[in-house]
Amino acid sequence: MFPTYVRNIANGSETGQVLALDLGGTNFRVLLVNLLPHSEVELTSKIFVIPQSIMLGEGVNLFRHLADCLLDFMKKENLIQPGVRYPLGFTFSFPCQQEGLASARLSSWTKGFTCSGVVNEDVVKMLQKAIDEKNISVQCVALINDTVGTLMACAYKNPTTAIGLILGTGTNACYTESLDRIGTWNGDYNEPKQVIVNMEWGAFGNNGRLNYLRTKYDEEVDLSSVNPGKQIFEKMISGMYMGEIVRLIILDLMQQDLLFIGQRDHYGDYKTPLFTRGGFYTKFVSTVETDVGIAFANTRRVLQDVGIRNPTFDDCAIVQHICKNVSKRASRLAGGGIDIFDVLF
C-alpha cells in the first residue's frame, strides 16, 4: 500500500481549466478538463495508441511519445497561446512510491510494459523533461493512480465517496485513511488528517497466499507474462488476462479431443488462432456470455472469428460454460477484495 499525498477529496466546488494525461494500458488519453460551477464538467479528449515497440523499449522514448501526443492535442485544440502555461495532472496507473504530490518513483511495470530505465526513477521528472524538450508550456503539478482519479471524479459529483476501484485492463483500489494509521507517512499532520491510500491490490498473492485458488492455467498465464510472480491477483481477474485463461482451458480440452473434434484438417492439426498466445480476446468472453437459449448465435460468431467454422451444440455449450465460470471466479475474487473495506472502515 502506498500513500498518495492526495489529502483533500473533491466536493464539486472546484473550477478551472486543466490538462490531463491518462496512461494505464495500450491506449493513452490526453484530455482538456473544464471544471464548471455546480459539479459540471466539460471534457475534450483524444485517444492515442502506445505501440508495442515503445511499451517494450527505452523509457525515455515512452515519455517523448507522450509529449508528442500532448503537443498534437494542444495544437488541434488551439491551446498554444503566448504567455499561457497550463497545469497538468498525470494519471499513471502503475505501482509507484510517491514522494510528493508531483513526485513518484516507479516500483515496477505491469500491464505488458517493460520500458527500460524507468524503475526507481521519478516518472514526473521524466515526463516534464520530455515536455520541456518540446517547448510545451505545461507544468505537471500532480501524479495520481487511476483509482485515485476514479475516487476524485466520483467525489466531484458525490462528496461522500470513499473508495476508488478499477476493474479493467488491470485492477486496483484505493481508499481514504487516517494519518495516524499509516506507519510510513512522512508528511505533515495538518488538517485534513487523512490521505488517499493506493492499495496496489493487483499484487495480492505475490507472497503465495492465493496459491490454493490458482489453477494450472493461472500458472501458465503468469509464467508466460512479462512479469512472472508479480500481480498474481490481477492476473486472475483483470481484462488483460481473462481471455488468455479461457484460451488455455479451451486449448487443453482440444488437445484431449473433448472440443472441436470435427475441426481437424487432413494433417490432423487445428487451423485456429487458439494455438497462439493472446488468440482469444477478453471481449470474446463477454460476447459469449450474452447468449441465451440454445442457438448460441454470439458464441458461434466468436468461434468463427478464431477459426472454428462449424462448432456443434456441445462445443458452444462447453465454451460458454468456460467463459461464464472464468468470469464468475473473477467477480467473486473482486468481491472478496471489496469486502476488505468492511474491516478497514
Known catalytic residues are 111, 146
| CB contact at 8 A, 33 and 99 | no
| CB contact at 8 A, 273 and 246 | no
| CB contact at 8 A, 124 and 104 | yes
Residue with cell 512522512: 186
- Nearest 5°: phi and psi at 9? -95, 140
Helix (H, G, I), strand (E, B) or coil at 3: strand
| CB contact at 8 A, 171 and 334 | yes
Gap between the Cα atoms of 187 and 179, Å rounded: 9
Cell numbers for 100: 510528493
Gap between the Cα atoms of 247 and 11, Å rounded: 44
The 8-class DSSP code of residue 13 comes to: -
61: which residues sit within 8 A by CB, 6+ positions away?
54, 115
Q: How far apart are the first and last CA of the chain?
A: 16
286: which residues sit within 8 A by CB, 6+ positions away?
327
- Nearest 5°: phi and psi at 331? -65, -35
Angle 7-11-15 (CA atoms, 0-180°, nearest 5)? Answer: 100
The interaxial angle of helices 297-305 and 313-344, nearest 10 deg, is: 100
Angle 87-90-94 (CA atoms, 0-180°, nearest 5)? Answer: 165
